[in-house]
């Protein structure tokens, strides 16, 4: 009996090729487009109409792809759910001076929960997306294309969230995906990859955030000398390790954001001495294990584009883990995900709560 697969169509090349490959394999394929953001009702103040409806352009691209592949395209709105489960958390973390990654929550609450429920209503036996990842023998594995691997963003999805999920392009590289799209005459073959906040897209970050969080200027302090050397325009606009657009006029030296004091609304920077950016341990909480393997030694990624770091795990109470790394790591940032790996397998993640060096909590984080 023919199996039905509902594919999350984003309007990009990855989901388009995923849908093509599944149809080629003989599945009954249904496309489903998610609309999770509406600038007109979510408080954005735009003058440029070309910016207001990026999701409408994506929907039109998805529709053209589905017409080319001769598959139906359905549409569903999760605007309220996205606001409640993803965006409110994102704003709350920024307001606390932390650096959240909404993509992980978007996958957890929207793509691999609400979307799956909607797919089941459409009669799905399987759900598929255009993620660069693999599932083999119940394990979440890194993609063939390590440069595009997206397991970092999938690490907070509960284990049952991957049940009956397919990742058709996980064994392909990005150039191979684009080549397939070109060969099949798909309109999105050369479409630029989406960047920015999950489902919101590219924005001038500071202008966008100021639609929701009040600008609260304060001092920029040289952490070594304790001298005030500038004025920041809101702690939510900066992340640890940031070097560009810090706002120190007239200073040509290399300076990096190294800390935030939310209580006193102070941004700390280091000029020249990057040692303030390094740590050797962190505490993670809200741990989610995808794997049944809970090792003592493994590797960790502290950001999507970060390198794998060898770590030792000490399991604590309250679903917390002390992550110790013998080789110091740079710019480990509260609020971001610490994703754990054992070789190719993604084990899960936790969220960075506290950062340490030489057994002491870094006071400026």
Q: What is the sign, positive or negative, of the torsion defined by CA atoms of 286, 292, 295, 298? A: negative
What percent of the chain shows pLDDT beyond 90? 78
> How sure is the predictor about 259, in pLDDT bands with cuts at 50, 70 and 90?
very high
Here the tokens at position 146 are 């390590």
How high does pLDDT run on average in the chain?
91
Residue 317 is predicted with a pLDDT of: 94
Distance CA 53, CA 49 (A): 7
Is the pLDDT score of 46 beyond 70? Answer: no
> How sure is the predictor about 52, in pLDDT bands with cuts at 50, 70 and 90?
very low
Is the pLDDT score of 199 beyond 80? Answer: no
346 is catalytic: no
Taking alpha carbons only, the member of 348, 308, 356, 358 closest to residue 332 is: 356
Annotated active-site residue in 66, 106, 258, 346: 106
Is the pLDDT score of 93 beyond 90? Answer: yes
**What's the whole-number mean pLDDT along residues 15-43?**
88
Q: Please write the tens of the pLDDT for every residue from 262-318.
A: 999 999 999 878 899 999 999 999 999 999 999 999 999 999 999 999 999 999 999
Here the tokens at position 344 are 């190719």
**What's the whole-number mean pLDDT along residues 222-248?**
89
Residue 53 is predicted with a pLDDT of: 58
**What's the whole-number mean pLDDT along residues 228-256?**
83
Is the pLDDT score of 218 beyond 90? Answer: yes
Q: Which domains are present in the chain?
A: 4-205 (3.40.50.620), 214-272 (2.30.30.280), 276-361 (2.40.30.10)
Annotated active-site residue in 66, 198, 282, 349: 198
The answer to whether the beta carbons of residues 200 and 78 sit under 8 Å apart is no
Distance CA 189, CA 197 (A): 22
> How sure is the predictor about 214, in pLDDT bands with cuts at 50, 70 and 90?
confident
Angle, CA of 262, 90 and 142, to the nearest 5°: 115
Task: Give long-range contacts, CB 8 A cutoff, 24+ apart: 53-56.
Answer: 54/201, 54/202, 55/11, 55/199, 55/201
298 is catalytic: no
Residue 54 is predicted with a pLDDT of: 64
């Amino acid at each position: 009996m023919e199996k039905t697969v509902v594919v999350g169509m984003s309007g990009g090349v990855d989901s388009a090729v995923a849908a093509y490959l599944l149809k080629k394999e003989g599945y009954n394929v249904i496309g489903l487009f998610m609309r999770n953001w509406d600038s007109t009702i979510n408080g954005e103040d735009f003058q440029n109409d070309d910016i207001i409806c990026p999701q409408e352009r994506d929907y039109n691209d998805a529709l053209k792809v589905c017409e080319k592949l001769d598959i139906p395209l359905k549409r569903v709105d999760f605007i309220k759910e996205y606001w409640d489960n993803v965006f409110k958390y994102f704003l709350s973390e920024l307001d606390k001076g932390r650096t959240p990654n909404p993509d992980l929550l978007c996958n957890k609450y929207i793509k691999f929960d609400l979307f799956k429920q909607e797919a089941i209503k459409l009669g799905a036996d399987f759900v598929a997306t255009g993620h660069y990842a693999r599932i083999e023998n119940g394990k979440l594995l890194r993609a063939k294309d390590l440069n595009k691997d997206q397991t970092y963003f999938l690490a907070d999805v509960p284990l049952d969230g991957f049940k009956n999920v397919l990742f058709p392009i996980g064994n392909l590289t990005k150039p191979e995906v684009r080549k397939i799209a070109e060969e099949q005459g798909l309109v999105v073959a050369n479409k630029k990859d989406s960047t920015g906040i999950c489902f919101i897209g590219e924005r001038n970050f500071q202008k966008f955030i100021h639609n929701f969080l009040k600008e609260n200027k304060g001092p920029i302090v040289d952490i070594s000398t304790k001298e005030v050397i500038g004025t920041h325009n809101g702690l939510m606009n900066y992340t640890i390790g940031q070097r560009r657009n810090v706002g120190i006029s007239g200073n040509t030296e290399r300076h990096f954001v190294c800390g935030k004091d939310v209580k006193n609304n102070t941004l700390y920077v280091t000029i020249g001495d990057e040692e303030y950016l390094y740590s050797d341990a962190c505490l993670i909480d809200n741990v989610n294990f995808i794997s049944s393997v809970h090792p003592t030694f493994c590797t960790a990624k502290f950001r999507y584009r970060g390198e794998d770091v060898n770590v030792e795990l000490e399991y604590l109470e309250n679903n917390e883990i002390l992550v110790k790394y013998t080789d110091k790591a740079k710019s480990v940032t509260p609020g971001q995900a610490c994703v754990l790996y054992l070789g190719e397998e993604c084990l899960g993640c936790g969220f960075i709560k506290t950062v340490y060096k030489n057994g002491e909590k870094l006071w400026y984080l």
